[in-house]
Amino acid sequence: MEQLVRFGVSVDRHLLKEFDRHIKRRRYASRSEALRDLIRDNLVGEEWNVDKETIGVITYVYDHHVRDLPGKLTDIQHNCQGQILSGMHVHLDHDHCLEVLVVKGKGSEVKHVADALVSVKGVKHGKLTMTTTGKSIR
C-alpha cells in the first residue's frame, strides 16, 4: 500500500459547506475519500485528453423506423470493431431502441466512434461517458 501523506487545504466556508453536503449525498466515509475521488476524476479526464488508452460507454436512443438507420448504425459499428468490446440492444417501445456500447482505445478513437454514431440522422440522443483502464490511477 502507498504511504498516505497529510496536507492542509484552505477553502471558503461556503464552499466547504457545499462540499460537506456533496459528501453526505454521495455517502462518502470522509472528506479525504471524497477529495481523493475528485482528484482521480480529474486525472482520468487528463488521460482522455492526452490520448491514453481509455474505456468508454456510448449510449444512444434512436427511432428504428427511420429509413436505413439501423443499417447505418450497424455499418459504423462494424467499421469500428477494433474499439467496440461489447454491445447491448434494448427495445424501449414500438418505435425506439437503446444501444449501449462498451468501447476501448485512445481517447480520440473512442470519441470518433461516439461522434460517428450519435451524429447519424435519426439518433435522438446519445452520450459518451469516458473512464480509465485504471492502470495509471492508484
For the chain, give every domain's residue range: 13-49, 53-132
pLDDT in tens, 78-105: 999 889 999 999 999 999 999 999 999 9
Give the model's pLDDT for residue 47: 66
The CATH code that applies to domain 53-132 is 3.30.70.1150
Low-confidence ranges of the chain (pLDDT < 50): none
Determine the Cα–Cα distance for residues 50 and 131; give it in Å rounded to an integer: 13
Which residues fall within 8 angstroms of residue 56, CB to CB, at 6 or more apart?
Answer: 102, 103, 104, 110, 111, 113, 114, 128, 129, 130, 131
Give the model's pLDDT for residue 122: 92
